[in-house]
């Protein structure tokens, strides 16, 4: 069986630094860090979330 290309990542809010979301990404297609604009329940607004380990 080949190595799994999809890995589990955690998304962290850039403003309050809380870890809010868990998701998966394909390492072959997205080699860099993922940045998504998502809702942060601690800031109570939409902010940029960055991939962390």
Per-residue confidence (pLDDT) for residue 4, from 0 to 100: 80
Q: Evaluate whether residue 22 is within a structural domain.
A: yes
- Find out whether 18 and 39 touch, Cβ atoms under 8 Å: no
| Number of separate domains in the chain | 1
What's the pLDDT at 47?
A: 96
Per-residue pLDDT of the chain (53 residues; tens, 9 = 90+): 567 889 999 999 999 999 999 999 999 998 899 999 999 999 999 999 999 98
Matching residue, tokens 């109570």: 44
12 neighbors 52 (Cβ within 8 angstroms): yes
Strand partners, 9: 23
Number of Cβ within 10 Å of residue 9's Cβ equals 19
Q: Does some domain include residue 18?
A: yes
Whichever domain contains 22, its CATH number is 2.20.28.120
| Residue 47, domain extent | 7-52
């Amino acid at each position: 069986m080949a190595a799994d290309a999809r890995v589990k990542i955690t998304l962290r809010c850039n403003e309050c630094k809380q870890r809010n979301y868990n998701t998966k990404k394909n390492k072959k297609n997205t080699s860099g860090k993922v940045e998504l604009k998502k809702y942060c329940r601690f800031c109570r607004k939409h902010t940029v979330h960055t991939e962390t380990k």
